[in-house]
Amino acid sequence: MVVINVLKTKMCPHCPKASELAKKVAQRIGNGTVVKETYLDTPEGGKVAAKYMVMTVPSIVIGEKLRFRGMPSEDALMQAVQAAMSAP
């Protein structure tokens, strides 16, 4: 199982599209791929932002690695998720 974590804020105009893209990719891949959304403008989200040193939204964490700052293409996100699935 792979977790796609979309890091976002409530005021971000591009974050909803990033969440939609992550859900689309997760649905296409299947195999228990899960999408999580973390709002960085909350206390919990602030800790996540500090952990990954994120100051740009949307950002996307796959597994435990920050993979994208900004909006990736569908192909790039798909490849990153597939690579995470096949990693040991």
Tell me the per-residue pLDDT of 13-29, one tens digit each, with 9 for 90 and over.
999 999 999 999 999 99
List the one residue out of 5, 22, 7 whose CA is nearest residue 72. Answer: 22
> Residue 70 belongs to what domain range?
3-86
- The enclosing domain of 42 has a CATH number of 3.40.30.10
The 3-state secondary structure of 34-64 reads EEEEEECCCHHHHHHHHHHCCCCCCEEEECC
What pLDDT, on the 0 to 100 scale, is given for residue 65?
96
β-partners of residue 68 are 60
What pLDDT, on the 0 to 100 scale, is given for residue 31?
86
What pLDDT, on the 0 to 100 scale, is given for residue 87?
77
Summarize the confidence of residues 36-47 as an average pLDDT. 96
Count of domains forming the chain: 1
Tell me the per-residue pLDDT of 47-82, one tens digit each, with 9 for 90 and over.
999 999 999 999 999 999 999 999 999 999 999 999
What pLDDT, on the 0 to 100 scale, is given for residue 81?
96
CA distance 62 to 42: 20
CA distance 7 to 85: 20
